Structures are given as C-alpha cells and as structure tokens.
Chains A and B, each alone.
Chain A
C-alpha cells in the first residue's frame, strides 16, 4: 500500500491530452513539493517534473504538473506513442514513517 495514491492505469490516443492524479495528505503533498518520474520499459526512472510544476531541461513542454491542497496531477498533451510508460509521483513526508514517499505508479497506454 503506497502512501500516495495513483490510478493503476490510464490511456489515450495519439494527440490526446491525458491527466494522471496523485492523492496524498497534509504531511506530504499538502506541505511539500511534488515530483513526477517517467519509467520507460526496462529502464531507470527519469525526472519529469520537480517542485510541483518545474520541468528539467530536455523535458518537452507537453508535460506539465500542478498541485492543489493534498492532490497533484500530471498532464500530458499531444500524446505520442513514446509516452507509453509508467509514471510515478513522489513527495517528501514530514511524518516519522520515512521521509520519501512514492505513489504506486500509473501505467500509461497509448492506444
């Protein structure tokens, strides 16, 4: 059971816009930055979004992040076949159970 809750799957057709949600609590998303990672099949995770809505250099502006209260979301516009991957949200947690927490991951399928 992950501390952050994501839908297990999402899908869309090429060119479409899809969003992936991430729900947490006041001790993590509610009081800290949210990060998003993309993991292509068989590869290491890659940072997609940091500090809620910032993109590292090289990440296309088709990817955007937002946060409201204890929830966050990742939006992918102009969906492409190469976006098919697992996506994870993460946040720092101020509770005693362990500072770094991830969502369970969302498998995005491009139909």
Chain B
C-alpha cells in the first residue's frame, strides 16, 4: 500500500526555520518525482516545489524561491522541505505528493503555523 507520511510541522515564529519530512513506503520512491503543495486555512491548493527522481533537478513557486529548499534521500525513502525566513503567509497545511508532472498520490499533510 502506498503511504506518504508528513512530519515536522508546528508553531514557529516569523523569521524562523522548519524542516518538513515525508516518509514514503509501498512503492519505489527513487523512481518518482515528488512535490510539496500547501493549503492555507480555508483557502485553495498552491503548488510549492518539486524534485525529480534522482534529486538533480528542482523547481519552486516564486513565493518561496530563495527561502525554501526541497531535497530527497532515496536511501531513506524520504522527501524534505527546508523552510527558512518563514512569514505569516506561509501558514498552511503542507502536503507531499508523488507524480509526474503533477501530483498523483498525496499524503495527509502537516500543519505549519507561523506566528509570534
């Protein structure tokens, strides 16, 4: 059974950092592109970032470029999102998802709250 389990969310102050993780199981992780998509409370889905199967290519939304870094460890079947210089507008549920070129299967998400 395909499983994507996000972790690492929580409350952080503006300007702070957080690293999200997404543990994958039930499929060959190293064969899939992976994505991060976020959803602010009561709002729609916003694509954040993607990484190709071997980690050699990444893309970001303009709103997070230069602040967020996506990476993966195929030996550990884990996807990461390093988030720096966090702002109040980054408050959202963050979903990891697999698929090319867009998400297919999604995890359940982890909530990130940026507030003082």
Contacts and interface: CB of A to CB of B under 8 A. Distances in A.
A102 B46 contact: yes
A37 interface: yes
A102 B47 contact: yes
Contacts of B99: 47
Size band of the interface chain B makes with A: 20 to 34
A101 interface: yes
Contacts of A50: 102, 104
Nearest to B105: A47
A90 B107 CA distance: 18
Given A45-B45, A90-B45, A100-B35, 17 more contacts: A2-B44, A33-B102, A35-B102, A44-B107, A47-B104, A47-B105, A50-B104, A92-B102, A97-B62, A98-B59, A98-B61, A100-B47, A100-B59, A100-B101, A100-B102, A102-B37, A104-B44
